[in-house]
Structure 1
Amino acid sequence: MTIINRMVKDSLVFLLFCLFLFLFLFAEEFKDLSFFNRIPGMFFNVNTIFLSIILEAIPFILLGVFVSAVIQSFVSENVIKRVLPRNAYLALIPAALLGIIFPICECAIVPVVRRLIKKGMPSHVGVAFMLSAPILNPVVYASTYFAFISSPYVANARILIAFISSIMIGFIIYRRFKGENILKVQKEDHHHNEHHHHQRRNKLLETLYHASDELFDTGKYLFIGAFLASLFQAFLDRNVLLSIGSSTTFAPFIMMGLGYVLSVCSSADAFVASSFGSTFTEGSILAFLVFGPMIDIKNTLMLFGYFKKNFVIYLLVVTPIIVYFSVYVFQLIFSS
């Protein structure tokens, strides 16, 4: 029954995507029909935004699931234990810097981190990597630099705040979940273990097998998250947000919320943030640039799919608090 339920859910998600793709390609031909004339134009905007998010995220999802599959096939638990410092606190520093080497965005980081934790990476170290990697990578730095070409320090500030915040959050996660398993035990994991026990595969086939399985598993969360984000983008009244954008106290919270619901890929979100530069405070822009790639609708659904509920809720509470605090301190130190 569980397998049937999963097949039904996956089929519904796939049909939803096909419907949006069909409307994207042929909506103009049907707009003149009486039935479609009754549909508000906002719903066509939802369709366009949904597909733009999907098309933007798919390349990074493919990268993420392939990296995850390579880790599963080629990286042993002993390798992870050797490369990380034994001190639980010192291990957070290289973990937060891994994004420089592995340019993975928030669309794809969750399955990669899940695989690393299953391979033996400490949970708090995986969390630090998961939060920092979508920001501390060369692609995101370059896009931020060019988006704020007249204020290049924004790119450096984004990197610094993300680095410090991810270490602080990793420290808190370690203190709260030390020694606990934060991953969900999934039935397909047992199936894979039994399958590989009875049938040995060469490494290439094993990598492709895990990548395809991970893609279908992760894809449904991406589609649902993109759909919710497109609804927010289409119906959100931005004039209300702009009216409170000058508040140094509330504006960062508003922009963090905006980053969460817009769910823009970290490689492109700087250009969205720069459009608010004339209305929102510098601190709130930085809050958007740091919090959005760490937690958004898409990866929240993935987190609930792969991690235990109490851990995800705790992370969703702690992350915005730490980001807000880090941005606030940064403004106190560096504001002119």
Structure 2
Amino acid sequence: MADVTTTTEAQPSTPTRRRRGPTSLEVLCVVLLLAILFQSQLTQFFNVPELRTGSTIFVAVCVQALPFLLLGVLLSGLIAAYVPMGALRKALPGKPALAVPVAGIAGMALPGCECASVPLSRRLMQQGIAPAAALTFLLAAPAVNPIVLVATAVAFPGEPLMVLARFLGSFLTAVVMGWLWLRLGKAEWIAARALRHHEPKAGESKFTVFTETARHDLVEAGGFLVLGGVTSAALHVIVPASWMTSLGGQVVLGVIVMAVLAVVLALCSEADAFVVASLSMLPLLPRLVFLVVGPAVDVKLIAMQAGAFGRPFAARFAPLTFVVAILCAVGAGLLVFGGVR
């Protein structure tokens, strides 16, 4: 009996092999194969006006945002690979309260939408930029860059003051949120992974760091962009268009409704002016609120912020941004327009 036990113990243990789950590429191939096999059934299923509308809006949101998302992740990769740690921090004023408006002005130089600013602002934090300044840049870049302002001027040819009002409302929103983060924000609200700087491995080239960083940010941000696009498409279908006609003479209600629609419709900041300009039945003030709130907080931006900085951050930052954007838009509108218009 002892010999049997000794022999059993002497036998080498068989290594257990962990079962590897399917990769995203394998899942995509299976989905495409099923779509080809059941093409006729899928065509009949999606031959519904609401589904066609929703799918069109989903594709439009993603196609509008994807070029600027690519721009953002490429800039993020370039900063991670080629900008020395701390170099950007030295370019800003030493006092955080002064760094916030300077970061807002710097946002004017990035011709992109909010999809580009999320990965880029996270990279700024990893480079040592104070979160308040990076978040100010996040809000300012998609709202006050030259492309957005020119698009607004083209969309409102008879209302040149709309460009000034949008600039003031959006810039104030970004700066006020930066100062509020300095006052109220806590470091533990931001996920640790968002602040973790990628240290190059031994022998790893800068180009490798650039490509790996850009690939990682694109995969992560792209997934949340798709999630936001699906939410936006669903809400487009659910909200009746006839509701707009009943808001013509109700400024306060119009401001609230347009602020909520800016969040749920998730339009790209380069295109939202042309959409809201067509709502001529509404006064200028509610339409201005739409233009200020949209680039600051919408469903796809909330999803991307949750992915980049963590859900605790998004749960606090998005509602506060929503309130601040409405107040700044109304204040800028009353100042520039000289009253309710």
TM-score of the alignment, normalized to the shorter chain, above 0.5: yes
* 2:184 alignment partner AA: R
Asked whether 1:55 is paired with 2:63, we answer: yes
Partner of 1:308: 310
1:131 CA drift (Å): 0.6
* Whole-angstrom CA distance in 2 between matches of 1:5 and 1:171: 45
Matches within 5 A, 1:173-192: 173-177=181-185, 180-186=187-193
* 1:327 alignment partner AA: A
Partner of 2:243: 240
Correspondence for 1:212 among 192, 215, 221: 215
Matches within 5 A, 1:137-286: 137-177=145-185, 180-186=187-193, 193=199, 196-197=200-201, 199-276=202-279, 278-286=280-288
Retained in 2: the 8 A contact 1:165–1:326?
yes
Retained in 2: the 8 A contact 1:105–1:265?
yes
1:17 CA drift (Å): 9.4
Retained in 2: the 8 A contact 1:65–1:108?
yes
Moved more, 38-47 or 288-297: 38-47
* Whole-angstrom CA distance in 1 between matches of 2:160 and 2:265: 24
SS of aligned partner of 2:175: helix
SS of aligned partner of 2:295: helix
Retained in 2: the 8 A contact 1:72–1:207?
yes
Partner of 1:111: 119
**1:139-169 Cα distance to aligned partner (Å, 9 max, x none):** 1111111011111211111011111121111
* Whole-angstrom CA distance in 2 between matches of 1:256 and 1:242: 16
* Whole-angstrom CA distance in 1 between matches of 2:31 and 2:165: 38
Distance 1:317 1:201, change over 3 A: same
Distance 1:11 1:306, change over 3 A: farther
* Whole-angstrom CA distance in 2 between matches of 1:258 and 1:16: 36
1:53 CA drift (Å): 1.4
Aligned residues: 318
Partner of 1:130: 138
1:15 CA drift (Å): 7.5
Retained in 1: the 8 A contact 2:231–2:299?
yes
Matches within 5 A, 1:322-333: 322-333=324-335
SS of aligned partner of 1:103: coil
Asked whether 1:99 is paired with 2:107, we answer: yes
1:39 CA drift (Å): 4.9
Report percent identity of matched pairs: 27
Distance 1:37 1:111, change over 3 A: closer
* Whole-angstrom CA distance in 1 between matches of 2:181 and 2:22: 31
* Whole-angstrom CA distance in 2 between matches of 1:4 and 1:130: 38
* Whole-angstrom CA distance in 2 between matches of 1:331 and 1:181: 36
Structure with bigger gyration radius: 2
**1:198-238 Cα distance to aligned partner (Å, 9 max, x none):** x3222223212211221111111111111111111123202
Distance 1:187 1:121, change over 3 A: closer
Retained in 2: the 8 A contact 1:123–1:182?
no
What is the TM-score when the length of structure 1 is the normalising length?
Answer: 0.85
What is the TM-score when the length of structure 2 is the normalising length?
Answer: 0.84
**1:14-33 Cα distance to aligned partner (Å, 9 max, x none):** 589969xx79xxx9x95xx7
* Whole-angstrom CA distance in 1 between matches of 2:78 and 2:238: 40
Retained in 2: the 8 A contact 1:114–1:183?
no
* 1:154 alignment partner AA: M
Retained in 1: the 8 A contact 2:61–2:229?
yes
SS of aligned partner of 2:142: coil
* Whole-angstrom CA distance in 1 between matches of 2:298 and 2:194: 27
Partner of 1:88: 96
Distance 1:80 1:38, change over 3 A: closer
Distance 1:186 1:164, change over 3 A: closer
Asked whether 1:296 is paired with 2:313, we answer: no
Matches within 5 A, 1:33-72: 36=44, 39-72=47-80
Partner of 1:74: 82
Distance 1:40 1:84, change over 3 A: same
1:68 CA drift (Å): 0.6
**Structure 1: 5+ residue stretches without partners:** none
* Whole-angstrom CA distance in 2 between matches of 1:177 and 1:168: 13
* Whole-angstrom CA distance in 2 between matches of 1:54 and 1:6: 25
* 1:66 alignment partner AA: L
